[in-house]
Amino acid sequence: MELKRVVVTGLGAVTPVGNTVPEFWDNLLKGVSGAGPITHFDASKFKTQFACEVKNFNATDFIDRKEARKMDLYTQYAVAAAKEAVTDAGLDTEKEDLNKIGVILGVGIGGIHTFEEEVAGYEKTKDTIGPKFNPFFIPKMIADIASGQISIMYGFHGPNFTTTSACASSSNAIADAFNYIRLGKANVIVTGGAEAAIFPAGVGGFNAMHALSTRNDDPQRASRPFSGSRDGFVMGEGAGCLILEELEHAKARGARIYAELAGVGASADAYHLTASHPDGLGAKLVMKNALEDAGMQPEDIDYINVHGTSTPVGDVSEVKAIKDVFGEHAYKLNISSTKSMTGHLLGATGGVEAIACVLSVKNDIVPPTINHEEGDNDENIDYTLNFTFNKAQERTVRAALSNTFGFGGHNACVIVKKYTE
How far are the Cα atoms of 13, 93, 152, 174, 245 from residue 248, in angstroms, in the given order? Answer: 26, 18, 26, 19, 9
At 68-92, the pLDDT tens digits run 999 999 999 999 999 999 999 999 9
For 385-419, b/e burial (b = at least 16 CB within 10 A) is: bbbbbeeebeeebbbbbbbbbbbbbbbbbbbbbbb
Active site residue 344: yes
167 given a catalytic annotation: yes
User: Mind giving me the DSSP string for 303-364?
Assistant: EEE----S-TTHHHHHHHHHHHHHGGGGGTSEEE-THHHH-B-GGGHHHHHHHHHHHHHHHT
**Dist CA 357 CA 335 (whole Å):** 11
Contact 189, 158 (CB under 8 A): yes
Find out whether 108 and 166 touch, Cβ atoms under 8 Å: yes
CB-based contact 317:279 (threshold 8 Å): yes
Residue 338's pLDDT is: 98
Catalytic site residue from 113, 249, 307, 410: 307
pLDDT score of 173:
98
Alpha-helical segments (H) within 130-232: 137-141, 145-154, 169-182, 200-208
Q: How many whole angstroms separate alpha carbon 382 and alpha carbon 379?
A: 6
Q: How far apart are the first and last CA of the chain?
A: 20
| Active-site residue identified among 249, 277, 344, 372 | 344
CA-based nearest residue to 224, from 333, 375, 330 = 375
On whether the CB atoms of residues 37 and 50 are closer than 8 A, the answer is: yes
The reported pTM is 0.97
8 A C-beta contact, residue 242 and residue 85: yes
Beta strands of 88-223 (E only): which ranges?
Answer: 101-106, 160-163, 188-195
Rounded Cα gap, residues 118 and 134, in angstroms: 7
The active-site residue out of 52, 167, 357, 413 is: 167
Q: Which pLDDT tens digits describe the chain residue by residue (421 residues)? A: 799 999 999 999 999 999 999 999 999 999 999 999 999 999 999 999 999 999 999 999 999 999 999 999 999 999 999 999 999 999 999 999 999 999 999 999 999 999 999 999 888 887 787 778 889 999 999 999 999 999 999 999 999 999 999 999 999 999 999 999 999 999 999 999 999 999 999 999 999 999 999 999 999 999 999 999 999 999 999 999 999 999 999 999 999 999 999 999 999 999 998 888 888 899 999 999 999 999 999 999 999 999 999 998 889 999 999 999 999 999 999 999 999 999 999 999 999 999 999 999 999 999 999 999 888 777 678 898 999 999 999 999 999 999 999 999 999 999 999 999 8
Q: Give residue 381's pLDDT.
A: 83
| pLDDT (0 to 100) of residue 62 | 92
Q: Is 410 a catalytic residue?
A: no
* Of 142, 277, 183, nearest in space to 175 by CA: 183
